[in-house]
Chain A
Amino acid sequence: MDVRYINPFLQAVYDVFETMLQITPTRRTLVRADGKIQSKGPVALIGMSGPAQGVVALYFPEKTVLNLVNRWLGMELTEIDANVTDAMAELVNMIAGHAKKSISADMPVPLDLGLPTVIRGSDFDVGYPGAAPWIEMTFDSELGPFVLRVTVAVNSAQGESK
């Protein structure tokens, strides 16, 4: 994955959390990863297509995501339900959408976003049709830690700079 695409995702996390949740996350680590995701909490996924292809995965420990949704929606949830998965889907949608504006600036046409999906499982592999590595960014916040994992590969036939 081109390192130029890392900053748009970092900035998207900061902007989405600060604007929608009034929370300022702190980046903890940024490492190369793969599509094998081990999470005890739900994972929100969204695909990107067009002049580049990619996948964005956002995941939280269960306690963090309950804190987050309760803060965001003024609820008092104690377990993962449809409110939680819907909120996670919207968060990953906003993060990917925010990042794609910067990434699309180098593309002949804007990237397209798919519809987000939320899955639950403790150990799975996200298949991705490309050789680009994943970048994993971990964050701390007042609501708890969370992880964003991203892969983006430019389609050389379409994604040349303007």
Chain B
Amino acid sequence: MKALVVDDSATMRRILKTMLVPLGFDNVAEAIDGLEAVKYCEMANVDLILMDWNMPNMTGIEALKQIRGAGLKMPVIMVTTEAEQTRVVDALKAGANNYIIKPFNQNTIEKKVRETLERVAQQG
């Protein structure tokens, strides 16, 4: 499976990539902001996107809106410090499939990724 990790922090991209490998993601691409993520999604298929919220050039929520606006339906999980309920609701309304609040551990990533992929598979 192929994933795209979108975060302006190289540290966070590295940690998330390491956590995705045991979940069956043998190909993990990286984008450093929302703009790069949108461009990547226009050119390549991915099975999952992990998206930060606060990034320079284009935020994760804006990128998510553009991805959904382009008709792309791959599952997107927001991975962010934005923990307030209003932010979670905004992300879900914009088309996020799930939400992970930083800080997180391997168990949280595994649970949320599996839950998201199963839910999307059931929806067909």
Chain A residues engaging chain B, CB cutoff 8 angstroms: 15-16, 19-20, 72-73, 82-83, 86-87, 89-90, 93-94, 96-98, 100-101, 104, 109-110, 113, 115
In Å, the complex CA distance between A96 and B83 comes to 11
In the bound complex, do residue A97 and residue B10 qualify as a contact, i.e. CB atoms below 8 Å apart? no
Residues of B near A110 (CB, < 8 A) are 82, 84, 86-87
Residues of A near B12 (CB, < 8 A) are 90
Residues of A near B103 (CB, < 8 A) are 15-16, 19-20, 94, 98
Residues of A near B87 (CB, < 8 A) are 110
List 7 tightest A-B contacts by C-beta distance, closest first. Answer: A97-B81, A19-B103, A101-B83, A110-B84, A87-B11, A90-B9, A20-B103
Nearest chain B CB to A104 CB, angstrom units: 5
In the bound complex, do residue B9 and residue A97 qualify as a contact, i.e. CB atoms below 8 Å apart? no
In Å, the complex CA distance between A78 and B63 comes to 37
In Å, the complex CA distance between A115 and B57 comes to 11
29 A-B pairs with CB atoms under 8 Å apart are A15-B103, A16-B103, A19-B103, A19-B104, A19-B105, A20-B15, A20-B104, A20-B105, A72-B11, A73-B11, A73-B15, A82-B10, A83-B10, A83-B11, A87-B11, A89-B11, A93-B9, A93-B54, A94-B103, A97-B80, A97-B82, A98-B102, A100-B81, A100-B84, A101-B84, A104-B84, A109-B86, A113-B54, A115-B55
The SS class assigned to the B binding surface is: loop
**B56 close to chain A: CB less than 8 A:** yes
Residue-wise, chain B 73-87 has the 8 Å CB interface mask toward A (1 for contact) of: 000000011111011
Given A73-B15, A94-B81, A94-B103, 12 further pairs, Cβ under 8 A: A16-B103, A19-B103, A20-B15, A73-B11, A73-B14, A90-B12, A93-B81, A97-B82, A100-B83, A100-B84, A101-B83, A110-B84
In Å, the complex CA distance between A43 and B31 comes to 26
In the bound complex, do residue A98 and residue B83 qualify as a contact, i.e. CB atoms below 8 Å apart? yes
A98-B81 CB under 8 A given contacts A19-B103, A110-B87: yes
In the bound complex, do residue B11 and residue A97 qualify as a contact, i.e. CB atoms below 8 Å apart? no
In Å, the complex CA distance between A110 and B84 comes to 7
**B30 close to chain A: CB less than 8 A:** no
Q: Select which of A82, A104, A113, A115 is within 8 A of B8 by beta carbon.
A: A115
Nearest chain A CB to B54 CB, angstrom units: 6
Residue of B with least CB distance to A116: B9
Residues of A near B10 (CB, < 8 A) are 82-83, 86
Q: Select which of A89, A100, A109 is within 8 A of B9 by beta carbon.
A: A89
